């Protein structure tokens, strides 16, 4: 970290509220495997499970068949977009990095691949909707492939009641511009553990956007890598946890190619007893990744007593020849002075709260850049605040 | 015609060293069209009086009454007080990230009037009031008080005063941190509000310089949590030349 400070004074503010933790190994050494048995069932003391209530996930740690009768999967996209069942290793982007992902991988003999043709520019988003009921056991394996120099937005929406383990591979060809949004609007009893791996092609730009609102326990691990130089990865996340909800977002951006850019920004609000959010942002800049420019940020707004937000940024740097690297993490309580100021202008308390929370999310929601997602998200946040009264 | 009446007001605040009484029996009456200056040394409780009138939760009223036209202000929530016609221009306005000035003003106006303002006249009113206060149009799209200079914050407070049209306004050290030009612009705004809506003003200040632009009808000297001397504008002139020493020493 001192290396960073010396070589990159321009890297900006450095807040280390939760970053005192030092990993005992490089993030690159974390195990990956297709075989379920290569991963022990997590007991909760493992580094990558230490925040997760693993006792609730015992079902997703054991292989089980997908209950297809309780699942509706729809894909709706503009002309030219293809959907087909392919061999699971066809994309070659993702290798499971924990037991839940390995179980999900093993649970599906084929992957569903949605492909955007090379050089195609889609005027409308592709919509993938997963709708489940009655705590359906689901194993998901989805592949999103954007051909070279294509431009597209893909929105994956999860609804209903499920125990869902999933792996998602996102592959952007050279020069592609892909926005992938995963929305978790599950019912209150849903458990969802997903691994998303993103491979950014040469000079490609991928925006990976996570919106988590529903579910009892949602844990999404996002890993980004670069297939060549000049790639850009933007990871945006918005979450809102109510009483009893556990929402966990883990990111790992692995910079191996030179001259790549990454920017991660997650913002969450928490309200109600036992609402718990976890954000872990790992960035590794390998020796070869000269000219890297990376920043990650997590902000949490705690609206009520009894909620807990964990936030752990980690930055590992193996070369000093970089453009910039930084991170910031902050968790704050709802500011009563803001409330007073607004109320002193006649604005009723509930309206004032809504203004402040909307304000907290405004910038990041605007950056999502997919109007239907942004509008829906703001309405959902309003509904969450309404529900608290 | 409105009357704000403060009678025997005692207010405490919780500190690290326990409960501390800041106001010790304040009596004050402000009517529409009147301008009262409250002057006193630092730490005399002037700002506490302002916050207690507005209803800041940090301050506890232990004794006494505040009424507006006979209505019990102390029984009202912060927002109810504002809707009843009270306004506090704050010494340190609070930043509200992500909320634009334009959204904030419209929301406040809607709350105070009980209905949304007519869009066309409202936009014109806002632009006009901003122009009067020498505020650029782009101001409306900035986030409330975020990154504002001291002068911009005070102009923004007076902008709200002019648009929300309260009956009684408390101006808490509105002159602090303003250069002469800004002080004149802000004072003109207050005077416009006085003329336009027969506003009653309670002007809290440490120095007399703002009184050159906003003429007080009454001056109250505030020391150690209560009013110790009252008079007309001439009292301010005396304070200007003599300072607060004679009150502070008298107390000791």
Name every residue in A having a CB less than 8 A away from some CB of B. Answer: 335-338, 340-349, 351-352, 355-356, 358-363
The CA distance from B221 to the nearest CA of chain A, in Å, is 26
pLDDT score of A12 more than 90: no
A296: its two tokens: 């990650």
CA distance A234 to A114: 21
Task: Return the bridge partners of B169, or none.
Answer: B87, B201
Q: H or E segment at B108?
A: helix B101-113
Please indicate whether, in this complex, the C-beta atoms of A355 and B103 are within 8 angstroms of each other: yes
Chain B CB contacts of A355 below 8 Å = 96, 99, 103-104, 107
The residue-averaged pLDDT of A125-152 equals 98
The CA distance from A358 to the nearest CA of chain B, in Å, is 7
- B79-116 burial code (b ≥16 CB/10 A, e <16): bbbbbbbbbbbbbebbbbbbbbbbbbbbbbbbbbeeee
HEC profile of A96-119: CCCHHHHHHHHHCCCEEEEEECCC
- The number of beta carbons lying within 10 Å of the beta carbon of residue B28 is 21
The CA distance from A294 to the nearest CA of chain B, in Å, is 24
CA distance A119 to B114: 54
Residues 6+ apart with CB under 8 A from B55: A344, B73, B76, B77, B78, B81
Q: What is the pLDDT of residue A343?
A: 98
The residue-averaged pLDDT of B45-53 equals 96
Please indicate whether, in this complex, the C-beta atoms of B98 and A363 are within 8 angstroms of each other: yes
Q: Does B57 touch chain A (CB under 8 A)?
A: yes
Chain A CB contacts of B95 below 8 Å = 338
Q: Pairing between strand B96-100 and B200-205? A: unpaired
Q: What is the ipTM of this complex?
A: 0.96
Interface test with A, best of B78, B84, B97, B170 (most A CBs within 10 A): B78
Chain B CB contacts of A347 below 8 Å = 79, 82, 107-108, 111
Half-sphere exposure of A353 (CA within 13 A, CB side): 19
Q: What is the pLDDT of residue A5?
A: 33
The CA distance from A212 to the nearest CA of chain B, in Å, is 21
CA distance B238 to B231: 11
SS3 B219: strand
Q: Does B74 touch chain A (CB under 8 A)?
A: no
The CA distance from A264 to the nearest CA of chain B, in Å, is 19
pLDDT in tens, A189-224: 999 999 999 999 999 999 999 999 999 999 999 999
* Cα–Cα distance list, A89 to A34, A81, A96, A116, A186 (Å): 10, 21, 11, 19, 28
* Cα–Cα distance list, A62 to A163, A175, A248, A250, B244 (Å): 12, 39, 20, 22, 79
CA distance B158 to B138: 17
Please indicate whether, in this complex, the C-beta atoms of B88 and A356 are within 8 angstroms of each other: no
What is the domain range of residue B13? 3-251
- A322-332 burial code (b ≥16 CB/10 A, e <16): beebbbbbebe
pLDDT score of A1 more than 80: no
Q: What is the pLDDT of residue A160?
A: 98
pLDDT in tens, A318-354: 999 999 999 999 998 888 999 999 999 999 999 999 9
The CA distance from B75 to the nearest CA of chain A, in Å, is 15
Mean pLDDT of chain A: 92
CA distance B152 to A42: 56
Burial of A41 (C-beta count, 10 Å sphere; 0-12/13-18/19+)? middle
Q: Tokens 């911009």 identify what position?
A: B152
Q: Which among A345, A360, A361 has the least Cβ separation from residue B164? A: A345
Helices (H), chain A: 2-7, 99-107, 336-343, 349-368, 371-387
pLDDT in tens, B97-154: 999 999 999 999 999 999 999 999 999 999 999 999 999 999 999 999 999 999 999 9
CA distance A234 to B126: 38
Q: How many domains does chain B have?
A: 1
Nearest CA in chain B to A354: B99
pLDDT in tens, A34-83: 999 999 999 999 999 999 999 999 999 999 999 999 999 999 999 999 99
CA distance A35 to A23: 25
The CA distance from B195 to the nearest CA of chain A, in Å, is 21
pLDDT bracket for residue A23 (50, 70, 90): low
Q: What is the pLDDT of residue A335?
A: 87
Chain A CB contacts of B59 below 8 Å = none
pLDDT score of A17 more than 80: no
Task: Return the bridge partners of A165, or none.
Answer: A139, A193
Q: What is the pLDDT of residue B36?
A: 98
Q: Pairing between strand B86-89 and A71-76? A: unpaired
Nearest CA in chain B to A366: B98
Chain A CB contacts of B172 below 8 Å = none
CA distance A151 to A148: 9
The residue-averaged pLDDT of A129-143 equals 97
The CA distance from B66 to the nearest CA of chain A, in Å, is 16
Q: What is the pLDDT of residue A363?
A: 87
Residue A42 DSSP class: P
| CB distance A158 to A183 below 8 Å | yes
The CA distance from B97 to the nearest CA of chain A, in Å, is 6
pLDDT score of A2 more than 70: no
CA distance B115 to B105: 13
Q: H or E segment at A225?
A: strand A217-226
Please indicate whether, in this complex, the C-beta atoms of B107 and A347 are within 8 angstroms of each other: yes
A75: its two tokens: 């894909």
CA distance A315 to B65: 58
Interface test with A, best of B52, B81, B111, B167 (most A CBs within 10 A): B111
CA distance A193 to A112: 18
Report B:159-188 residues touching A (Cβ under 8 A).
160, 164
Interface test with B, best of A345, A348, A360 (most B CBs within 10 A): A345
pLDDT score of A127 more than 80: yes
The CATH number of the domain holding residue B58 is 3.40.50.300
- The number of beta carbons lying within 10 Å of the beta carbon of residue B232 is 11
Q: Which among B79, B87, B96 has the least Cβ separation from residue A348? A: B79
Q: What is the pLDDT of residue A386?
A: 81
Lowest average pLDDT, out of A32-36, A359-363, B46-50, goes to A359-363
Q: pTM of the full predicted structure? A: 0.85
B3: its two tokens: 């009357």
Burial of A105 (C-beta count, 10 Å sphere; 0-12/13-18/19+)? buried
Picking from B99, B155, B107, the residue whose alpha carbon sits closest to that of residue B131 is B155
pLDDT in tens, B55-92: 999 999 999 999 999 999 999 999 999 999 999 999 99
Picking from B88, B16, B75, the residue whose alpha carbon sits closest to that of residue B49 is B88
Q: Does B24 touch chain A (CB under 8 A)?
A: no
Q: Which among A335, A344, A356 has the least Cβ separation from residue B88? A: A344
Q: Does B76 touch chain A (CB under 8 A)?
A: no
Q: Which among A335, A347, A359 has the least Cβ separation from residue B108? A: A347
Nearest CA in chain A to B114: A346
The residue-averaged pLDDT of A241-267 equals 97
Picking from A145, A190, A151, A201, the residue whose alpha carbon sits closest to that of residue A168 is A145
Residue B93 DSSP class: P
Phi, psi of A167, rounded to the nearest 5 degrees: -125, 135
pLDDT bracket for residue A24 (50, 70, 90): low
pLDDT in tens, B195-252: 999 999 999 999 899 999 999 999 999 999 999 999 999 999 898 888 888 887 655 4
Q: H or E segment at B156?
A: helix B150-164
Q: What is the pLDDT of residue B248?
A: 77
């Amino acid at each position: 970290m001192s290396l960073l400070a010396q070589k990159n004074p321009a890297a900006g503010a450095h807040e280390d509220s939760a970053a005192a933790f030092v990993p005992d190994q490089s993030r690159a050494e974390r195990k990956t495997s297709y075989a379920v048995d290569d991963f022990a069932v997590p007991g909760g003391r493992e580094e990558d499970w230490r925040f997760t209530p693993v006792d609730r996930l015992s079902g997703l740690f054991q292989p089980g068949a997908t209950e297809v009768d309780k699942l509706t999967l729809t894909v709706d996209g503009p002309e030219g977009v293809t959907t087909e069942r392919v061999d699971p290793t066809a994309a070659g982007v993702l290798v499971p990095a924990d037991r839940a992902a390995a179980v999900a991988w093993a649970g599906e003999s084929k992957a569903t691949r949605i492909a955007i043709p090379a050089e195609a520019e889609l005027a409308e988003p592709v919509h993938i909707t997963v709708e489940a009921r009655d705590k359906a056991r689901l194993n998901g394996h989805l592949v999103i492939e954007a051909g070279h120099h294509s431009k597209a937005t893909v929105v994956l929406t999860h609804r209903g009641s499920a125990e869902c383990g999933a792996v998602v591979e996102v592959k952007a060809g050279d020069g592609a511009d892909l926005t992938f949004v995963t929305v978790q609007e599950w019912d209150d009893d849903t458990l969802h553990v997903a691994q998303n791996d993103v491979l950014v092609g040469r000079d490609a730009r991928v925006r990976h956007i996570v919106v988590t609102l529903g579910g009892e326990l949602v844990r999404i691990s996002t890993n980004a890598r670069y297939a060549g130089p000049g790639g850009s990865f933007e990871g945006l996340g918005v979450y809102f946890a109510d009483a009893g909800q556990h929402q966990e977002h883990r990111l790992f951006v692995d910079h191996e190619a030179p001259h790549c850019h990454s920017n991660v920004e997650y913002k969450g609000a928490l309200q109600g007893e036992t609402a718990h959010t976890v954000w872990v942002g790992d960035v590794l800049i390998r020796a070869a990744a000269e000219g890297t420019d990376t920043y990650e940020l997590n902000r949490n707004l705690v609206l009520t007593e009894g909620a807990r937000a964990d936030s752990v940024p980690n930055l590992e740097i193996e070369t000093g020849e970089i453009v910039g690297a930084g991170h910031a993490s902050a968790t704050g309580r709802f500011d009563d002075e803001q409330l007073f100021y607004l109320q002193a202008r006649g604005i009723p308390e509930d309206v004032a709260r809504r203004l402040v929370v909307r304000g907290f999310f405004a910038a990041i929601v605007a950056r999502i850049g997919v109007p239907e997602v942004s509008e829906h998200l703001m309405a959902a946040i309003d509904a969450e605040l309404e529900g608290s009264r | 015609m409105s009357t704000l009446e403060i009678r025997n007001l005692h207010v405490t605040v919780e500190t690290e060293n326990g409960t501390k009484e800041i106001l010790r029996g304040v009596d004050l009456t402000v009517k529409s069209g009147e301008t009262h200056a409250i002057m006193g040394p630092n730490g005399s409780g002037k700002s506490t009086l302002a916050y207690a009138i507005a209803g800041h939760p940090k301050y506890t009223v232990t004794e006494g009454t505040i009424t507006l036209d006979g209505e019990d202000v102390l029984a009202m929530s912060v927002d109810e007080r504002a809707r009843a016609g009270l306004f506090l221009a704050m010494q340190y306005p609070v930043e509200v990230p992500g909320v634009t000035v334009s959204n904030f003003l419209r929301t406040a106006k809607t709350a105070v009037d009980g209905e949304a303002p007519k869009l066309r006249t409202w936009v014109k009113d806002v632009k006009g009031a901003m122009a009067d206060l020498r505020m650029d149009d782009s101001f409306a799209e900035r986030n409330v008080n975020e990154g504002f200079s001291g002068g911009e914050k005070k102009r923004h407070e007076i902008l709200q005063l002019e648009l929300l049209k309260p009956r009684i306004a408390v101006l808490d050290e509105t002159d602090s941190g303003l250069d002469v030009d800004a002080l004149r612009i802000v004072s003109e705004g207050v005077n416009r509000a006085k003329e336009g809506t027969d506003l009653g003003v309670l002007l809290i200040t440490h120095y007399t310089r703002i009184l050159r632009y906003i003429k007080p009808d009454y001056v109250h000297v505030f020391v150690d949590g209560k009013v110790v001397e009252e008079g007309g504008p001439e009292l301010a002139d005396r304070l200007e030349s003599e300072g607060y020493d004679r009150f502070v020493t008298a107390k000791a």
